[in-house]
Amino acid sequence: MYAIRKPPRLALLCAALLMAACKQIATQADDPYDIGKMDLKPVPAKVTSERHKGPFAEGNALSMGAELKPLDPAPVKTVRLDTTHKIIEIAPGIKFSAWTFGDQVPGPTIRARVGDKIRFSMTNRSDEVMPGVQFVAAPMMHSMDFHAAMVSPQDKYRSIAPGQTIEFEFTVNYPGVFMFHCGTPMILEHIASGMYGALIVEPREGYPTKADREYMVVQSEFYAKPDPQQRKVDGQPLYVLDGENLKKAASSYTVFNGYLNGMVKKPLPAKPGERVRLFVLNVGPSKTSSFHVVGTIFDRVYIEGNPDNQFRGMQTVLLGSSNSAIVEFMIPEAGQYIMVDHHFANASQGAIGLVDAGEVKPKEKADLEHHNMPATATPTDPAAVQGKLDFESKCLACHSIGRGKKLGPDLLGVTKRRSDEWLRKWLATPEKMLETDADAKAMLKEYNNIPMPNQNLSSAEIDRYMKYFQWVDSQPIGVVHSGEGGH
């Protein structure tokens, strides 16, 4: 009998090292992020005086709104986004002097796949007069900064003068949801004025799941103040960039897709049982978003839009300025699913939207606690406009205008039922009124002993509420509350 000899320890060690080396080589060969296989040598940018004419945005890879077009299969994406200065409406009655890519805020969404080449061109058309309005902001230098690109900023992201055109190209090497924005100093002002958008880069092999609906949600902040020159647009007061509050990050509005509660008025459609994929980008420029959808769970979350960065079963996604995520969730049943920045100071400024999966039976309808749905009519006086926005942000959970009682009374006709002095005292110190005023005590008893909280309103805020209530009560019956939603 021969004894079975064990392999020498050194031989075992060598075999293990060899296997590890082979595995590492195989892993490197399959590495989708292998720098050696990336295109890192784009051709130099070209700047000319040849001006684009016609549409301000062109390209098969562009989606102009929240609903996303399918990926264009062409390996080269030709994209044109020209810059303009124009007046946009960011909230009912709030006409804002904006700077844009592609003549809209946010700019059109670009969609590509890893390995695709983006062939980009942009004319600075800030010196063109937009139809129906005169210049608000003087023509100025602008540029384009793509977070998805790996290029020399000094070459590709240089600022160009009004009338000039820049052309450059780059290959998208990483999957994700990437911000683009103007990189011309002061960058803060350019982003806050509307110069931003999203570039979606899909993995080469696509996403791990199949979605029934795909939408782009861009969160951003506006910093607006009445025009010091008191100019008007179509009879409405003009609003311009508030530079002081911009530096303090004290925003006037925080919104989804460029408009206060715009995705409440125009919800994103879906059906029960469908998988919804949202591409979410927080462009800031200064605040953090806590993105949440009421009534469902994020089945999958791809941080920065890359499936390699996957989380499961999340309630909320935290996004700093220029951070992004893809969130996927199932629609469990019919209803309206509320998208909200769970940093509720932002939600109160308009960071609200809806995924509409059909109506529930009337007896099953619940108050939408997290959003406000504005009335159709809008005042023109700036103080009344702001009072309306304040009311819709802070009061619709408990009150309606012409839609009946809720937790508190219907406020239609309140200026005819109460004196200005009484209303001002009530808005300023409701707890003191409940101690001494007989009408206040009776109202508390009528509404189940639920007291109105002290909102710590300033005199200026109370003035705005009064302006709005007075405007409401001066309108013909049916004008103000037609189409108004409750909570």
| Residue 253 resides in a domain | yes
* pLDDT tens digit sequence for 74-88: 999 999 999 999 999
- Mean of the per-residue pLDDT values of the chain: 87
Structure tokens belonging to residue 352: 């609200």
| Residue 481 resides in a domain | no
Pair 256, 263: CB distance under 8 Å: yes
Q: Pick left, alpha or beta for residue 442 (phi over 0 → left; psi -120 to 50 → alpha; otherwise beta).
A: alpha
Locus of tokens 């909200």: 340
The CATH number that applies at residue 242 is 2.60.40.420
| Residue 18 resides in a domain | no
* pLDDT tens digit sequence for 181-238: 999 999 999 999 999 999 999 999 999 999 999 999 999 999 999 999 889 888 889 9
Structure tokens belonging to residue 285: 């420029």
Are residues 63 and 198 both part of a single domain? yes
Instruction: Give the Cα separation of 312 and 318 in Å (integer).
Output: 14
User: Could you tell me the pLDDT band of residue 7, with boundaries at 50, 70 and 90?
Assistant: low
**What residues make up the domain containing 324?**
215-356
Domain end marker among 202, 236, 258: 202
Are residues 346 and 415 both part of a single domain? no
Residue 429: alpha-carbon gap to chain centroid: 35
Are residues 179 and 231 both part of a single domain? no
User: Could you tell me the pLDDT band of residue 151, with boundaries at 50, 70 and 90?
Assistant: very high
Structure tokens belonging to residue 295: 């009534």
* pLDDT tens digit sequence for 40-83: 989 999 999 999 999 999 999 999 999 999 999 999 999 999 99
Are residues 93 and 233 both part of a single domain? no
Instruction: Give the Cα separation of 111 and 419 in Å (integer).
Output: 57
CA dihedral 361, 367, 373, 379 (to 10 degrees): 120
| Residue 31 resides in a domain | no
Are residues 57 and 149 both part of a single domain? yes
Q: Report the candidate in 206, 156, 167, 4 with the shortest Cα–Cα distance to residue 79.
A: 167
Between 416 and 74, whose confidence is greater? 74
| Residue 35 resides in a domain | no
Is it the case that residue 277 has pLDDT exceeding 70? yes
Locus of tokens 């990483």: 174
Is it the case that residue 291 has pLDDT exceeding 90? yes
Are residues 242 and 344 both part of a single domain? yes
Domain end marker among 292, 323, 356: 356
User: Could you tell me the pLDDT band of residue 250, with boundaries at 50, 70 and 90?
Assistant: very high
Are residues 286 and 182 both part of a single domain? no
Between 431 and 376, whose confidence is greater? 431
Instruction: Give the Cα separation of 208 and 220 in Å (integer).
Output: 29
Instruction: Give the Cα separation of 410 and 402 in Å (integer).
Output: 6
Are residues 435 and 338 both part of a single domain? no
Q: Report the candidate in 133, 102, 105, 91 with the shortest Cα–Cα distance to residue 193.
A: 105
| Residue 163 resides in a domain | yes
Give 89's strand partners. 95
* Best mean pLDDT range from 10-14, 103-107, 403-407: 103-107
Q: Report the candidate in 96, 250, 281 with the shortest Cα–Cα distance to residue 176.
A: 281
| Residue 117 resides in a domain | yes
Instruction: Give the Cα separation of 398 and 256 in Å (integer).
Output: 24
Are residues 256 and 233 both part of a single domain? yes
* pLDDT tens digit sequence for 352-381: 999 999 876 554 444 443 444 344 467 778
Structure tokens belonging to residue 265: 């008025």
Is it the case that residue 487 has pLDDT exceeding 50? no
Are residues 231 and 188 both part of a single domain? no
| Residue 6 resides in a domain | no
* pLDDT tens digit sequence for 14-31: 666 666 655 555 455 578
Cα dihedral sign, 58-60-61-66: positive
HSE, side-chain direction, 13 A CA sphere, residue 471: 21
The CATH number that applies at residue 443 is 1.10.760.10
454-481: b (≥16 Cβ within 10 Å) or e: eeebeeebbbbbbbbbbbbbeeeeeebb
Average pLDDT, stretch 109-132?
Answer: 92
Residues in the chain: 487
What is the structure's pLDDT at 370? Answer: 41
Are residues 352 and 401 both part of a single domain? no
Are residues 220 and 284 both part of a single domain? yes
Cα dihedral sign, 128-130-136-142: negative
Domain end marker among 356, 379, 397: 356
Number of other residues whose CB lies within 10 A of the CB of residue 136: 21
**Domain count for the chain:** 3
